[in-house]
Amino acid sequence: MSENRFLTLIKENQGIIYKLVSIYANDADEKKDMYQEILLNAWKGWPAFRGDSKFSTWLYRISLNTLLTLRRKPSRIDYIDSLNDISPLTDTNSTYNDDSMRLRQAIRLLSETNRAIVSMHLDGYENNEIAEFMGISNNHVSVKLHRCKEQISNLLKR
């Protein structure tokens, strides 16, 4: 598979990376670093991409795995404990309104597993796809989604 094909597919699907990075990054510099790390990992994995799944699904998996790996590195990211303590993200290319920004910030307060499940759900993945990706049962995904929705709702009421 060629480099041009890879770049074309990345350009067509870069929204996936931006959405996930916006949930995991604390600031613009961290977003850039995470984006670059995802691109690097995608490029490294490109020769192994067989096309058994859609490119977007493959990129989503690479992106999420990269972010979760970065998250596990010590002292990489210091997450804030309270939604009230979060300063608004400044992104000159952002078209998000206040509500979507508050939602994104609330999602960032979830545990990394719950954050991944919610982001996949919001991106339209079915519970069985999420369960397979996360290595948990379909029922467990449903329970986690329900609890996450309650937690996000409570955070947004503050």
**pLDDT tens track for 11-65:** 999 999 998 998 888 888 999 999 999 999 999 999 999 888 889 989 999 999 9
**Geometric angle at alpha carbon 93, from 92 and 94, rounded to 5°:** 95
Contact partners, residue 36, CB within 8 Å, separation at least 6: none
Give yes or no for a contact between 67 and 33, defined as CB atoms under 8 angstroms apart: no
User: Where in the chain are the domains?
Assistant: 1-78, 84-158
The pLDDT of residue 26 is: 81
Domain 84-158 indexed as CATH 1.10.10.10: yes
The topology under which CATH files domain 1-78 is Rna Polymerase Sigma Factor; Chain: A (1.10.1740)
Interhelix angle 3-24/98-108, nearest 10 degrees? 90
Longest CA–CA span in the chain (Å) reads: 50
- Tens-digit pLDDT profile for residues 72-87: 765 444 444 444 443 4
pLDDT at 108 over 50: yes
> pLDDT-derived band of residue 158, with 50, 70 and 90 as boundaries?
confident
pLDDT: which is higher, 36 or 70: 36
pLDDT at 95 over 70: no
Alpha carbons 26 and 22: distance in angstroms, whole number:
8
Alpha carbons 1 and 42: distance in angstroms, whole number:
13
The pLDDT of residue 98 is: 77
Report field, pTM of the whole predicted structure over 0.75: no
Buried b (16+ CB within 10 A) or exposed e, 144-158: bbeebeebbeebeee
